[in-house]
Structure 1
Amino acid sequence: MKFHLIGSPSIGKYRELKFYTEIFWKKKDNFSLLNLLMISKKIRMENVFFQKNNNFKYINSNDFTNYDNILDINCIINSFYNNNNIISLKKYFSFARGDKLIKPGKMTKFFDTNYHYIIPDCFSNLKLLNKKIFDEILEIKKIGILPKIVLMGPITYLHLSLKKINKFYKNVLEIYIYLIKKIINLGIKTIQIDEPILCSKINNNFKFFFNLFYKKISNLKFKLIISTYFGKINDINIINNLKKCTIHLNIENFSLINFLKHDVSLEIINSNLLKKNLFNLFFYKKVKLYSFDCNCKFIPYDLSVEKNLKNKIYLSFFFQKINEFNLIKRIYKKKINELDLLYLENFNNYKEKILINKKFKIIKKKSINFNKKILLLTSIGSFPQNIEIRILRKFFNKKLINLSEYKLIIKENIYLCIIKQYFLNFDVLTNGEFERTDMVEYFSNNIKGMESTKNGWVQSYGTRYVKPPIIFNVFDSNFITENWLIFTKKITKKKIKIILSGPVTILKWSFCINKKNEDFICLSISEIINKEIIFLQKNNFSIFQIDEPTIKECLPINKKNWKLKINKILFFFNNCTKFIKINNEIHTHICYSVFNDIYSMINKMNLDVITIESTRENMKNILIFNKIKLNLGAGIYDIHSPIIPYKNDIKKLIFNFLKEININYSWLNPDCGLKTRNWYELIKTILLINKVKKYIFKENI
């Protein structure tokens, strides 16, 4: 049995990449750059030796990234306007985050995951201007290993650019062919090209370019592995038209094996964290390789560092799954030892019944509450969490301070945050979310049946890492928000917006162990959110923001499967709003999504106000909202960039916003939570927004 990886995690076992990257962003000196390069090499070498020590057939190269894999390709082939210079690591980060000379790249989500990528922008000036891929090949060759190169496929790359078919598409194919030739000239014998687009419905134009590209590279001397993941292959004939190669399939495509004329690499271990996925044992002559179902960057590193997980015996993280690979190999070769027998004897499957309420009614959409004032200013929820808050949380977790001391300091910060919001003329306030680490993790800590890890980090994008909770089952939980919001209400008479994570997002941004029953689990979470809203309404709260940033990424990548999933999403969201009073407002926040094909779904959601991220799009993505009868906050301040905007930039954004959306239906807000920014940046930007707002009011008068 021969194993290989589709991709390895890039962040380091203890998030080393994040810390060294953020130090470089802050200091921007040669010493911090050198440290970042060293830690990046350390992580790459750890991955290489880990694969080598476990006797993998192929050792990967080019699956490591300092920010995101698509940005890596953007920089290698120069898919940027007005750039003809070598792209250094400093410039690489500027294309992602922006600086004084470069605007930050547009960003959206990678198929149906929470992994964000920088959208390719320009195909008219393609050339090789970054040597990352070649340097990493030479780095591995120096230690005597000939690696397998992992490369995002050109057809998927074109699809991810979100551009309509244009005359520059062939340029992308040509630069890819040139890149592959350069890689082969370095002695590389095997290249893995990822084409997850094969699991979606491909139009005739993409089919043409797919056939054209793979026909042209079929004469080059290297072994080709085409990797697909995220679902079932939509059209097997596209693959069978290719020259013989190896196709990686997940278990959903198992029935297609006998119809493929190619060799097969098959999923034998699932990325679900449950141990029971160990024994997907299938041995076919056609199957030459075995692997995971998808890239391993989507799962946490190591279960052994988790000390307080109640259901740890049922779980398996990346390192444990690699050990399971080796166990499968020993079982296959009939060479199991005493430790293997001990492991198998203590092998546990999670078995617990899920109880649900079977009585549900059709939920009618309530009439929309349009704004009574124009250009209301609010935040998405969180405010900057300074060093004091982070140290406080560490001390509390290590039991160096007690609960009453912890709560007192959090209340002090909430009080100061309310004062600052008064100073900044916010019309609708939030409590600042100082009691919360992450929008989903906080809820998981307060919902029975969900568990949070201490070190189960996965990358969302750049240095934004998240710890997805693990859902075993969901039991009734009341008063998730505890008394934080009631305390906030005592110190102000202004309207307070309640921030709640939606049921669909809580499920999507968690590892759901029981995949077969995840709809019932989502329904149970929806009921819990519903009860929380009833409790808060009794305490005279009237504005509820139920965040659902994942509704687009929850949809299957094959659009023919959308209808059923959309109906489920609508039911789960509307179910948790069913007891909100007619005069009370329902908000939601959806981030970095493409709305053109989901606006009809948004129109059916029980909503009054939707806030989105539009700064990087220069308000071009709001055009579709003319078809939706909702109040809209388009996001005036890009909080994912370190740039403090000028007054003129804010003025342009607001004017572009008001050109498309009626001022009576418009809200002003930062485009996401402010947790990662500092108070200096925030105060300076919000004061500029207020100046532009006053100017608009004077002009209208």
Structure 2
Amino acid sequence: MITSHILGYPRIGRARELKFALERYWASGGDQNARLLHDVRCELCMEGWDVQRAAGMDYVTVGDFSLYDHVLSTLELMGCMPVRLRQLSCDKLASYFAAARGGSAGAAMDMKKWFNTNYHYMVPEYSSGMEFDPGDGRWLAEEIDMAQAAGHRVKASILGPITLLWLGKERDGLLNRLELLPGLVDAYVHLLSLMLARGVEWIQVEEPIASLDMPDLWAGAMHAAYDVLSRRSPRLLLTSYYSFPSGCFDILCQLPVSGLHVDFTRNFRLGALRCFPRDMVLSAGAVDGRHVWSCDLSATARILDRARDMARLDDRLWVSTSCSLMHVPVDAATEAAVSMSVRPMLSFAIQKAGEVAALKIRLTHGNAGSAISHASPSRSFKPAVGFGTEDLQLTPRRKLGYADRARLQRSALGLPVLPTTTVGSFPQTPRLRQLRVLLRRGSIRLQSYMGAIRAEIEHIVRRQAELGMDVLVHGEVERGDMVEYFGESMDGFVITRHGWVQSYGSRCAKPPIIAHDVSFVRPMTLYWASYASKLTNLPMKGMVTGPTTIVCWSFARRDQSYQEVSLQVARALRLEVELLGSSGVGIIQIDEPALREGLPLQRAMRRRYLAWAADAFGVACSGTSPCVQIHTHICYSELGDVLQTMSDMDADVVSIEAARSNMSPLALLRGFHKGVGPGVFDVHSPQLPSQEAMASRITAALGIVPPENLWVNPDCGLKTRTWEQVNAALSSMRLAVDDVKERLRIGSGALPRQA
């Protein structure tokens, strides 16, 4: 019989219950809030399992839930939290969050994007001689017991040891983190034996590293690890996702595991199944867990039929989602306000579990009948706008090279050496969020809302001038989200009411859906940027989200390539950027924080992606004068993978996250010939940065970046911080710059400061 399951379920809850429970605990602490957080966790786990059973899954997945991040939770489970944080005197829950968010005990762990997604994970820290202590598998054991007590058939999920090591970084004299593999494998053996004793039948061991171009050394390490793990454990389902593991599929087939899960939705190679082992289960990730469009069940069932025949699977075929459903919202049935031209095509987590069940029925009985016709409505995309690669030849790039532009901009802007600025957003206070809710409900008039936003912008502009910032921003207070705001303002997007997904911890985003061709409708940022500019004589930076980021952080349509959609968005943004420049805004930031996460997992496919991403950026800023300084921003990514592309793009200044990464990106900037702003304080930690620490970071940057090219800014936007934290951090940043200038005798050439 064919088996159905999913790899994981959204953690945040239908109404973001996890977010609010976390923020209550962080704000007030205490035993009562800790108990409330525990209760919310239990309720969300039970709800996810009930959904899976109601949909007809043969196993419910246990262990996919995490209070902050599943990598961090795995580190805690294996007893390999950072050595520098192991001596904290607080309880385990507080210690766990101290690692994620920082605090009095030290800086938070580094944070990076999870493979090619917008989810962020905590980067493991490995030290020489590090020991592992898995203990009793506390939280995973509790979840297994809960699920079994509720009558569920359990498949436990855990991040695998090879990926856990791959994601980390060496510290404190460790030269090669694979040196730690034997001890880590022993910890896994201990944990797996505990699950075996609890009657768990299957362990979903996740090794997404297998979808990368895995080096031979790591492939050998995987074989050695699973030789040991398979001896004393439940049956192991080795799981890869986000792309079919073409480069190492043959290696995976030789591992001593009971089954493989592979992604059938991205780069799938049917012919690779010809030599699939006769004694292994094949779990087919056939329902795409990364987009919100309904599955074409008839076409997918035909592919699965061919796979079953090719690999001679019979009842060894499992049907699943391509990856965890943590990347999609919970329930499309709640989106009553979405147009009926789009709503029948939407499929969120609950619907995707139903699609998995429908595929099982089709493959078992030969016809899923009404389930197929219901889940696969006809598509209604009718391209009208267009904009393909041939249009690039008709779109002029910026007229001068960087060196010539830089000379013009220095003359036009008159900025000091080491100019200070922020990345864009300022605190999204409860009052601002409430104003947007009231406007949406019709409880206040648009005129009143606009007045309140203008007053907040006035406060932000005045406060920046008082703090001594050299280049100001208007604060983005009119935007709930940097992508959704532009989706609301352009044609072609659908905005949901409840389509939340987790970015990390309590941070959630509501990605817009690109359902039609994208086009410019009206100015999106011009009014607010122009209003803010009139409040000061200091330079005001216009803020626009870039085309690649808008597409990567949306649920894009499936009948066009990302390249085509990005170029449509770029053409719409070009009109906006041109309007900003012609209105007198002398600095415009076109954010591209998603540039790295859009990078294909296989290196052979990367050059083409990076070329069209740079082209899209070039289209967006192609209408500006060379006197207008174009900034961009990237954060929480492997900078080395995209730095050359950022150098080739038509930007003049690049700001990057660096403080959270302990300034490690600085080493990559040697020889970078454009303006650059390595962040000097972490904006996602409640820990307030000291003036001395920031001065040290600026000094370190000056050892690599010439003073005339160096900008000083935070890691990222300030929307998640309180005003108290922002005031203290920016004041210290200003003092740190002045201290470094005086100590190193760097000239100022500053503009007169006028508010």
The TM tier, using the shorter chain, reads over 0.9
Q: In the TM superposition, what whole-angstrom CA distance separates every residue of 1:501-527 from its partner, at most 9, and x where no partner exists? A: 000000000001225433111101111
1:41 Cα deviation from its structure 2 partner:
0.5
Q: 1:206 to 1:335 in 2, by over 3 A?
A: closer
Structure 2: distance between partners of 1:428 and 1:21: 35
Letter in 2 for 1:360: L
Instruction: Sort the Cα spacing of 1:73 and 1:334 in 2 relative to 1 into closer, same or farther, 3 A.
Output: closer
**Equivalent runs, 1:83-232 vs 2, <5 Å:** 83=86, 88-123=92-127, 124-128=130-134, 131-163=138-170, 165-166=176-177, 167-232=179-244
Q: Is residue 2:359 matched to residue 1:348?
A: no
User: Could you tell me how far 1:312 is from its partner in structure 2?
Assistant: 1.1
Contact 2:110/2:122 (<8 A) preserved: yes
Instruction: Give the partner amino acid of 1:573.
Output: F
Match of 1:299 in 2: 328
How many equivalent pairs are there? 700
User: Does the 8 A contact of 1:225 with 1:248 survive in 2?
Assistant: yes
Corresponding residue of 2:292? 273
CA distance in 1, matches of 2:256, 2:181: 23
* Distance in 1 between residues matched to 2:648 and 2:377, nearest whole Å: 46
Question: Do structure 1's residue 312 and structure 2's residue 343 form an aligned pair?
Answer: yes
**Using the alignment, how far apart are the partners of 1:434 and 1:529 within structure 2?**
20
Residue of 222, 235, 242 corresponding to 2:248: 235
1:537 aligns to 2:592 (yes or no): no
**CA offset at residue 300 of structure 1?**
0.7
Partner SS, residue 483 of structure 1? helix
Q: Is the 8 A contact 1:79 1:125 kept in 2?
A: no
What is the deviation of 1:157?
Answer: 1.4
Query: Shift in Å at residue 329 of structure 1?
Result: 4.2
Distance 1:580 1:366, change over 3 A: farther
Contact 1:313 1:348 in 2 (8 A): no
CA distance in 1, matches of 2:541, 2:283: 51
Kept in 2, the 8 Å contact 1:505–1:547? The answer is: yes
Does the CA-based 8 Å contact 2:460-2:475 persist in structure 1? yes
Identify the residue that residue 404 of structure 1 maps to in structure 2. 447
Paired residue secondary structure (1:266): strand
Cα deviations by residue, 1:337-366 (Å, 9 ceiling, x for unpaired): 99759837x933233125324433274672
Identity within the alignment, %: 26
Counterpart amino acid of residue 256 in structure 1:
A
Please tell me whether the aligned partners of residues 433 and 480 of structure 2 are also in contact (alpha carbons under 8 angstroms). Answer: no
- 8 A Cα contact 1:428 1:494, kept in partner: yes
With structure 1 as the length reference, what TM-score do the two structures score? 0.95
Tell me if the contact between 1:155 and 1:206 (Cα under 8 Å) persists in the aligned partners: yes
Q: Which moved more, 1:448-457 or 1:53-62?
A: 53-62
Whole-angstrom CA distance in 2 between matches of 1:444 and 1:427 = 31
Shift of residue 194, structure 1, vs aligned partner? 1.0
Determine if contact 2:525/2:543 at 8 Å carries over to the other structure: no
Report which stretch shifted further, 4-13 or 487-496: 487-496
Deviation at residue 257 of structure 1 after TM alignment: 2.2
CA contact (8 A) 1:154 1:176 kept: yes
Of 709, 716, 721 in structure 2, the residue corresponding to residue 665 of structure 1 is 709
SS at match of 1:235: helix
1:639-692 Cα shifts (integer Å, max 9, x gaps): 100111233323333333333322222111111111111111111121122222
The alignment partner of 1:148 has SS state of strand
8 Å contact from structure 2 (residues 526, 579) kept in 1: no
Structure 2: 5+ residue runs without aligned partners? 746-755
User: For structure 1, which segment, 170-179 or 683-692, has the greater mean C-alpha deviation from structure 2 after superposition?
Assistant: 170-179
User: 1:529 Cα shift?
Assistant: 1.0
User: d(CA) in 2 for partners of 1:341 and 1:474?
Assistant: 27
* 577 and 625 in structure 1: CA distance in 2 versus 1, 3 angstrom threshold: same
Matched, 1:65 2:66: yes
- Distance verdict in 2 for CA 1:335–1:245, change over 3 Å: closer
Contact 2:185-2:229 at 8 Å conserved across structures: no
- Offset at 1:588? 0.6
On the 8 A contact 1:526/1:576 being kept in 2, the answer is yes
Are residues 1:429 and 2:472 paired? Answer: yes
Q: Secondary structure at the match of 1:531?
A: helix
Aligned counterparts of 1:102 and 1:127: Cα–Cα separation in 2: 22
What is the alpha-carbon distance in structure 1 between the residues aligned to residue 741 and residue 363 of structure 2? 75
Deviations 1:539-558 (A, max 9, x none): 11111101000111111112
Alpha-carbon distance in structure 1 between the residues aligned to 2:288 and 2:451: 45
* Whole-angstrom distance in 2 between the partners of 1:157 and 1:480: 42
Contact 1:379 1:670 in 2 (8 A): yes
Matches within 5 A, 1:254-403: 254-261=270-277, 262-271=280-289, 272-279=291-298, 280-281=300-301, 282-283=304-305, 284=308, 285-286=312-313, 287-310=316-339, 311-332=342-363, 340=371, 343=374, 347-357=377-387, 358-361=390-393, 363=397, 366-368=401-403, 369=406, 372-403=415-446
Could you tell me how far apart the structure 2 residues matched to 1:576 and 1:43 are?
Answer: 42
Taking the aligned partners of 1:341 and 1:185, their CA distance within structure 2 comes to 40
| Structure 1 vs Structure 2 CA RMSD | 2.2
* 8 A Cα contact 1:75 1:87, kept in partner: no
Give the Cα–Cα distance (whole angstroms) in 2 for the partners of residues 354 and 93 of structure 1. 49
User: 1:336: how far off?
Assistant: 8.3
Aligned 8 A contact 2:383 2:517 in 1: no
CA distance in 2, matches of 1:342, 1:278: 8
**Could you list the per-position Cα deviations for residues 218-238 of structure 1 after superposition, in whole angstroms to 9, with x for gaps in the alignment?**
322521111111112112221
List alignment gaps of at least 5 residues for structure 1. none
